[in-house]
Amino acid sequence: MKIYDFEGFPNPARVRIALAEKGVTDQVEFVAVDVPNGEHRKPEFLAKNPSSAVPVLELKDGTTISECTAITEYIDNAYEGISLTGSNAKEKAVVHMMQRRAEQSVMDAVGAYFHHATAGLGPEIERYQNKDWGLKQKENALQGMQYFDSVLADNPYVAGENFSMADITLFAGLGFADFAQIEIPDSCNQLKAWREKVAKRPSIAG
């Protein structure tokens, strides 16, 4: 299978971590999409993902799957090893719930701030910006960090006892926050400790 992405971007990082957790990175062909120069908006790529976002998974039969959650679902179910999406009905529901919260309140909020309230990827890519919206989303990102700090005060991982795609999303979101120069609040000691712990996983530390 192929993964179309741009290495170093936060959403591609999520899928690369998932692949590493399952131990199958070497079974994937990575195809670079030059997002900073607009390759993701060309017809050839839009045919694979009309939303023009990376990453995209392409299977041998030509099926293309976009959205990090969907790609991770495929990877998790296609390969043996650690479960990233939950092993029973309750776990699956909680993982999906917490993954969405991490995505919405940190990853997406940071993204909105970066693309709207900073220079982002430059005028050729950032064709529309709403600075007030971006600044509001920065506030939301900080609130999201505080929320997850409270979650991690009572749980070793975002969705409970086990590492999951919810942790991957939050970790990548915090990395994006670093890039966008949004600092984790000083009071978020649990979140910082969790981040240090997760950063030591072989799938991330290398």
Question: CA 15 to CA 13: how far, in whole Å?
Answer: 5
The three-state secondary structure class of 26 is helix
CATH topology assigned to domain 89-205 = Glutathione S-transferase Yfyf (Class Pi); Chain A, domain 2 (1.20.1050)
Which alpha helices (DSSP H) does 51-130 contain, by range?
68-78, 89-102, 108-117
Question: CA 193 to CA 42: how far, in whole Å?
Answer: 42
Model confidence pLDDT, tens digit, residues 118-164? 999 998 889 899 999 999 999 999 999 999 999 999 999 999 999 99
Q: Are the beta carbons of 29 and 2 closer than 8 angstroms?
A: yes
Amino acid 47: pLDDT: 96
CATH 3.40.50.150 fits domain 2-78: no
Amino acid 202: pLDDT: 97
What does the DSSP 8-state code read for residue 104? I
CB atoms within 10 A of CB 148: 27
pLDDT tier at 206 (50, 70, 90 boundaries)? confident
Question: CA 65 to CA 57: how far, in whole Å?
Answer: 5
Model confidence pLDDT, tens digit, residues 80-129? 999 999 999 999 999 999 999 999 999 999 999 999 999 999 988 898 99
Checking 71-80 for CB contacts under 8 A at 24+ apart, the result is: 71/3, 71/15, 71/18, 72/14, 72/15, 72/18, 72/165, 72/168, 75/15, 75/18, 75/19, 75/22, 75/24, 76/18, 76/22, 76/165, 79/22, 79/23, 79/24, 80/22
What does the domain layout of the chain look like in residue ranges? 2-78, 89-205
Amino acid 193: pLDDT: 98
Model confidence pLDDT, tens digit, residues 26-83? 999 999 999 999 999 999 999 999 999 999 999 999 999 999 999 999 999 999 999 9
Burial label for 122, CB within 10 Å (0-12, 13-18, 19+), is: exposed
Q: Which two tokens stand for residue 105?
A: 């309140």
Q: Which two tokens stand for residue 83?
A: 């479960």
Single-letter code of the amino acid located at 147? Y
Question: CA 194 to CA 172: how far, in whole Å?
Answer: 13
Amino acid 129: pLDDT: 95
